[in-house]
Structure formats: C-alpha cells, structure tokens
Amino acid sequence: MDQLIYSAEIFLNGLMTGVMYALVALGFVLIYKASGVFNYAQGVLALFAALTLVGIQQGQVPFRHLINAIFGTHLESFGWTLPSVLAILLTAGVMVLLAVLIEKLVLQHLVGQEPIILFMATIGLAYFLEGLGDVMWGADIKTLDVGLPQGISESIESVTAAWFGYGFFIDRLDIWATAIAALLVAALVAFSQYTKQGRAMRAVADDHQAALSVGISLRFIWVMVWSIAGFVALVAGIMWGTKSGVQFSLSLIALKALPVLMLGGFTSIPGAIVGGLIIGVGEKLFEFWIGPLIGGATENWFAYVLALIFLVFRPQGLFGERIIERV
C-alpha cells in the first residue's frame, strides 16, 4: 500500500517534470513545423534568454568583462533592480530582435537549401549564442528569481496527509510551471488555428511556393516563428533557471527534449506535451520500481531507450504525420 502511495506521488512529480520537458520540446516543434528545420540551438536559446533575463533584471552591464579588460574600467552594474514583469517584457523584446537578426544574417542566405544545411547552420548558431551569452553576461552561475513561488506546497501536503496518512511533496514551482505551460500551449494553439498569421505559418510550413502565390512573405513568417520559439525558450529558461540556477548546463535540457520529440512526433504540439508527460512519468516510475534492482541512475538513459523503442515501432512518433512516399 505504501508503495502505491509513493508511486502516486512520484507519478504527480513525473507529470510536472514532463511539463518542463514539453516546454523545451515545444520550441523545437514550432520551428520544425514552420520551416522543416531541426533547430539545434533551441536549448541554447533558452539559456541565452535566461541569462539575458537575469542580466536585465539585476542591471548588469552587458559585455562588462570585455569592456573592463579593454578599457581598464571597473563597470559592474547600472545599479537598478527591475520588476520581474518589466524585465521579462524587455527580454522578450531581445528575443524578437534576435529572431530578426537570425533571419537577416543566417536564414535569408540559405533560402531553398537542403534541410541538412539549415540544420548545420543552427549548430553554428548554438555555439555562437553560447559564446555570446558568456561574453555578454559572464560565465558564473546565476540565481534567477522572478517571484515564482518555490518550495513544498503545504496545502497539498496536509490534504494528502489527511487522506493517505502520508503527505505528498509537490514543489509549488512545478505547479506553477504546469499552469503556465498549459496557458502557453492554449495560446499557441489558438494562435495557429484562428489567426491570419497562424494560418500563414501553417501555409509556409506546407509549401513555400504556394505560400508566396497567395501573398505570404516568407521572411516575415520566419521572423515571427523564431520570435515565438524565442519566447517559448524564455518561458522554459525561466522555469529551469528558477529550478536549478542559470548556468551553461541549462542548454543541455535540449538533449532531454530529443526523446520527447521522438515519442510525440516532430510536427505535433499535442505530441510534444504528451511525449513530455510520458517521459517525465516514465523515468521517475522506472527509477522507483526498477532502479533499485539494476543499480539505479536509470533517469539518465531511460528516455533514450524508450525513444529508441518508439523509433522501431512508430518512427513518426505518437502524433507525427505519417510520411507516405508515392512511387
């Protein structure tokens, strides 16, 4: 009985971890859907967003190490601390600006190239952004606090304690992350299904020539899609940054998004969510039930093995579009 109650707690925690994975996977899906490009830089985008948010909020001078080294100055900070909402808005603005620059400096020159070329370009972009983040804001580990509640949710603990005689440990940050992710997904779905821009985005994803012929500007759509992906990265960056600090390992959360995408399918927003949840729950429960039997540390590989099994039986993922080549 105890085992079951523990499992229930682990299940809930797994769901919420899954939401965090799904947040990262969403960014991949958006860009893949709109341009057929697997954006390797999505994880670094989240890192860059989080770094910029911390920098702006705490009034750090960008490039200060570089400036200090060249000019012998001792710049540290502007001496302000911005309210979280304002800092988040400003960071969102930076992400849009970044999208414009990426389109202008990278994508525009690669129109009509093979997807693999564009993929390579995003690898380059990832390393560039990692370095840029480093130079702009410094390589030290930063704490990010935008006022999201953290720590054990006492109400859930007391309720479960009354019901089961065992209080569940649920982090309030995870609850908030889940709520915000749900809101974000609802907004994205509404956007892509009901707005003119969303329809244009789906059109571009489907056929470039046809999109041009009905008067859609590819460049505008690409800037828009990268801006949205940047915004999703910002949300993911806030959640992960608040949870485990803003540091360069943050960009590695992209690696956890990969199995999520294989499970859910690269082209499906619901797929990213469901895939994230399955992996979040699966790896936690597996660790709890099977881990002790085989020496633990299963969380590191469980997601990938699950993804591999999926690749064998359902290569397009749970919700992905089945590719049928007519010969």
321 is a contact residue toward another protein (CB under 8 A): yes
**CB-CB contact of 154 with 171 (8 Å):** no
**Residue 303: enclosing H or E segment and its boundaries?**
helix 302-313
User: CB-wise, 187 or 255, nearer to another protein?
Assistant: 187
How many residues in the shown chain lie near another protein by CB under 8 A?
A: 25
Q: Tell the smallest beta-carbon distance from residue 316 to another protein (Å).
A: 13
Say which residues have a Cβ less than 8 Å from residue 164's Cβ, sequence separation at least 6. 5
Q: What single letter denotes the amino acid at residue 102? A: I
Q: Which two tokens stand for residue 272?
A: 């990213």
| The dihedral formed by the CA atoms of 150, 49, 140 and 129, expressed in degrees to the nearest 10 | 150
Residues between 159 and 188 with contacts to another protein, criterion CB under 8 A = 187
308 is a contact residue toward another protein (CB under 8 A): no
190 is a contact residue toward another protein (CB under 8 A): yes
Q: Tell the smallest beta-carbon distance from residue 33 to another protein (Å).
A: 10
Residues between 195 and 254 with contacts to another protein, criterion CB under 8 A = 195-197, 199-200, 202-203, 205-207, 209-218
Q: Tell the smallest beta-carbon distance from residue 261 to another protein (Å).
A: 18
Q: What is the distance between the alpha carbons of residues 122 and 115, in angstroms, rounded to a whole number?
A: 11
Q: Which stretch binds another protein (CB under 8 A): 68-76, 107-115, 126-134, 194-202?
A: 194-202
Q: What is the distance between the alpha carbons of residues 51 and 142, in angstroms, rounded to a whole number?
A: 8
User: CB-wise, 48 or 319, nearer to another protein?
Assistant: 319
Q: Which two tokens stand for residue 191?
A: 């956007």
What DSSP assignment string belongs to 3-44? HHHHHHHHHHHHHHHHHHHHHHHHHHHHHHHHHS---TTHHH
Residues between 268 and 287 with contacts to another protein, criterion CB under 8 A = none
Q: Which stretch binds another protein (CB under 8 A): 59-67, 193-201, 253-261, 279-287?
A: 193-201
Q: Tell the smallest beta-carbon distance from residue 187 to another protein (Å).
A: 7
Contacts to another protein by CB under 8 A: 187, 190-191, 194-197, 199-200, 202-203, 205-207, 209-218, 321
